[in-house]
Structure 1
Amino acid sequence: MAHSQNHQPYISSRAAALDGNSLGELFLLARERGAIDLALGTPGYPEPASDIIDAAYEAMRGGRNQYDHPSGDVLLRERIADTLSTPADPLTELTVTVGATEALCVALLTVVDPGDEVVLLDPGYEQFKAAIALAGAVPRFVPLHAPDWRFDPAELAAAFTPRTRAVLLNSPGNPTGRVLDRQELDQMAALCEQWDVTVICDEVYSNFVFDDRAQTSIMEVPGLAERGIVVGSLSKSYAISGWRLGFLRADPVRTQSLRRVHELTTNGAATPLQVAVGLAAVSADLKTAAQEMGRRRDLALEIFTGMGMKISPAEGGCFLFADVSPLTGGLKDSKAFVLELLDTAGVLIVPGGPSFADPSRGDQYVRIAFNRQADLLREVERRIRAARSVE
């Protein structure tokens, strides 16, 4: 049968609306030039615990290479429950997912219909916008205001409408490093109760909070706990991002529906990797890791504020969100600045634009990952100083 050369395949409106990775071009340039990557949040620190690696090998050699229950290995769910700040039933309230990315998409597909509205903070994790679009929902952005990246309660309240079905939060936040405090969460709770809205909170960086600050999960807040879904991950805390192990936490009724969507999308995460984390006597000391991550934050602050950037210290997570306008005088946007730093110093960071609903709001900001080995950060410092001495 002859095929028309002019045939154009039909692409769904949801898929067509998705943007590609905004960093693809930069990563190609960085690879060509042997640049140091401070762009992705892929952990360079901490390192994976050797007992987890050994346990994965033993699980595979021992025959744990077939399907497990779609909800996740029971022992792993029990281990996850042990790490949470409030009790959760591992049998009825926890689901292991293929990373936090799947968990996020499953949560949205479960609680919103096409045309529903989702409230989220701006700037925020770039992938939130895409996940909302894939679910066919409509984002309602609430601006965070520099330099401390807090929302105006009146602007938050104005974002809720009769079409609001969910609020999507991230604490500690990417890219801002903000940890939502109890007052902010209580304000969210009052609105979620008023409008009968589900709250989804990405808490993947919950193990990394600094300066003796306490991380408050939505599951600790009345008004959010009973209507909440937590997105969690083992990627950052155990430095196993390539293993793709995340989880969802919700009440038993929501969990039943989350699991149905999860089974249809992936049917479960890799069995031997789940078993490894569940069985291993994990040697990773998360409190010590958080303290060490705080030292890396301080080192990165020293390097980049010394360069002339304006930065509010990250309260948690693994990113600095830096204002480069003192260095550019407003004469170039953040992408041009990133390309210049890549060219002169061989260091890759991220333009701020993709983190905002209106990319022009990010023209003066860049994101810098500091979850790296201290020696690598010192090499970044050396490269930047050498580049500036040539100017």
Structure 2
Amino acid sequence: MAHSTTRRPRTSSRAALLRGNSLGELFLLARERGAIDLAVGTPGYPEPAPEIIEAAAEAMRSGRNQYDHPSGDLPLRERIARTLATPADPATELTVTVGATEALCVALLATVDPGDEVVLLDPGYEQFTAAIALAGAVPRFVPCQPPSWRYDPADLAAAFGPRTRAVLLNSPANPTGRVLDRTELDEIAALCERWDATVICDEVYSTFVFDGRPHLSVTEVPGLAERSIVVGSLSKSHAISGWRLGFVRADADRTEVLRRVHEVTTNGAATPLQVAVGMAALSVDLDTAAREMEGRRDLAQEIFSRKGMKFAPAEGGCFLFADVANITGGRHDGRRFVLELLDEAGVLIVPGASFFADLARGEQYVRIAFNRQTDLLHEVGRRVLGG
């Protein structure tokens, strides 16, 4: 009689590199205690435009419930093209994806081979490292230094080499709120030209840039424009993160390849939701939303600076990235601080360690989402400051 043995299933080495969601326990605790969630970037502001909701319902009622062309609903692509800093042909240079997450994975899978190297700034959005691992590539991290979160040009240059195939950027950045300036982008362009590297730039937060500074897309920078893939999303700008509508923008030759990968991964985003945004997107006042978001940034910065946190003002996006060592007696334990704040104030924020390649570098930091309604942020202030 054969004896059964318990074996671990054989899985890919790429999947073994994925950390998974480290925040599950915190979210459960927050839900149990009725805490205010400032952890995830799911928009509490702005709110979805009523016209978009109605347009989605009308699209379903009118029968737009089957596959659309894999590259996306053309009126939606035309709408997206009108929002871009530089012209793009919606027919040949824009592809609608299932959120920016798919756009990022498609961009990497279409650009790198296993063993290729991808340069990225550290700290950064943890999804970037996971997507690089899933593509079989190797990350080369460029450390950015607090409090301004700028890199040393020598460190940037040292990260490039013969195996560099791509540079992965994020501006405005999650979690730091940095907006890359022209000097930085010119430095990156020179290195991309030298090593013939593609730049993949996540510009999801491009509509939320503060204090009068411009958002500079990589498509506006000579040396990057002709070798760029831009990842975009409607999740934050239109407050429809659950609709999973993103896009990828590149020249026509790259787009042909991107679309082939996109067809294999998802074959297209939800048709009626694409139709709805294509019909109603102009009803969203992005300039007003940007001004309102800046006000929410100011309110959040006032609250948490009064709490004793240290941070550079967020230049864009929807997050503060704060150093809490000053209020923990020098104790570098962001997770413990997060749990204490949850217990004492009923407010959930995110430990900062997971945004760093070296987790120890991030132990004294936390990330705070401020894309919330003003009344909610005032309640946060009362809870956090005890007033």
TM-score between both structures, scaled by the size of structure 1: 0.97
Q: Distance in 2 between matches of 1:6 and 1:311?
A: 50
SS at match of 1:280: helix
Write out aligned runs for 1:74-223 (5 A).
74-223=74-223
2:301 corresponding residue in structure 1: 301
Q: Distance in 2 between matches of 1:184 and 1:247?
A: 25
- AA aligned to 1:112 is V
- AA aligned to 2:59 is A
Cα offset for 1:4?
Answer: 3.2
Preserved contact between residue 76 and residue 278 of structure 2 (Cα < 8 Å): yes
Preserved contact between residue 199 and residue 224 of structure 2 (Cα < 8 Å): yes
SS at match of 1:255: helix
Preserved contact between residue 44 and residue 372 of structure 1 (Cα < 8 Å): yes
Preserved contact between residue 169 and residue 202 of structure 1 (Cα < 8 Å): yes
Preserved contact between residue 323 and residue 365 of structure 2 (Cα < 8 Å): yes
SS at match of 1:310: coil
Preserved contact between residue 123 and residue 144 of structure 2 (Cα < 8 Å): yes
Q: Distance in 2 between matches of 1:304 and 1:296?
A: 12
Q: Distance in 2 between matches of 1:5 and 1:29?
A: 37
Cα offset for 1:328?
Answer: 0.7
2:24 corresponding residue in structure 1: 24
Preserved contact between residue 182 and residue 216 of structure 1 (Cα < 8 Å): yes
- AA aligned to 1:261 is V
Cα offset for 1:332?
Answer: 4.5
2:50 corresponding residue in structure 1: 50
Q: Distance in 2 between matches of 1:196 and 1:246?
A: 27
Q: Distance in 2 between matches of 1:166 and 1:348?
A: 35
Give percent identity, aligned residues only: 78
Preserved contact between residue 172 and residue 206 of structure 1 (Cα < 8 Å): yes
Cα offset for 1:281?
Answer: 5.5
- AA aligned to 1:253 is D
TM-score between both structures, scaled by the size of structure 2: 0.98
Counterpart check, 1:348 vs 2:379: no
- AA aligned to 2:134 is L
- AA aligned to 1:376 is L
* Structure 1 range deviating more: 24-33 or 7-16: 7-16
2:284 corresponding residue in structure 1: 284
Cα offset for 1:8?
Answer: 2.6
Preserved contact between residue 303 and residue 385 of structure 2 (Cα < 8 Å): no
Counterpart check, 1:335 vs 2:332: no
Cα offset for 1:5?
Answer: 3.5
Q: Distance in 1 between matches of 2:23 and 2:98?
A: 22
Superposed CA offset, 1:147-186 (max 9, x none): 1111111110000010000000000000000000011000
Q: Distance in 2 between matches of 1:79 and 1:51?
A: 15
SS at match of 2:9: coil
- AA aligned to 1:116 is D
Q: Distance in 2 between matches of 1:207 and 1:360?
A: 32
- CA spacing shift, 1:3–1:373, aligned 2, 3 Å: farther
Cα offset for 1:385?
Answer: 2.3
Q: Distance in 1 between matches of 2:228 and 2:125?
A: 19
1:70 corresponding residue in structure 2: 70
- AA aligned to 1:341 is L
SS at match of 1:9: coil
Preserved contact between residue 309 and residue 324 of structure 2 (Cα < 8 Å): yes
CA RMSD of aligned residues (A): 1.2
Preserved contact between residue 51 and residue 282 of structure 1 (Cα < 8 Å): no
Superposed CA offset, 1:42-74 (max 9, x none): 000000000000000000000000000000000
Preserved contact between residue 331 and residue 364 of structure 2 (Cα < 8 Å): no
- After TM superposition, where is structure 1 displaced by more than 4 Å over at least 4 residues in a row? none
Q: Distance in 2 between matches of 1:281 and 1:331?
A: 47
Preserved contact between residue 306 and residue 385 of structure 2 (Cα < 8 Å): no
- AA aligned to 2:215 is Q
Preserved contact between residue 79 and residue 281 of structure 2 (Cα < 8 Å): no
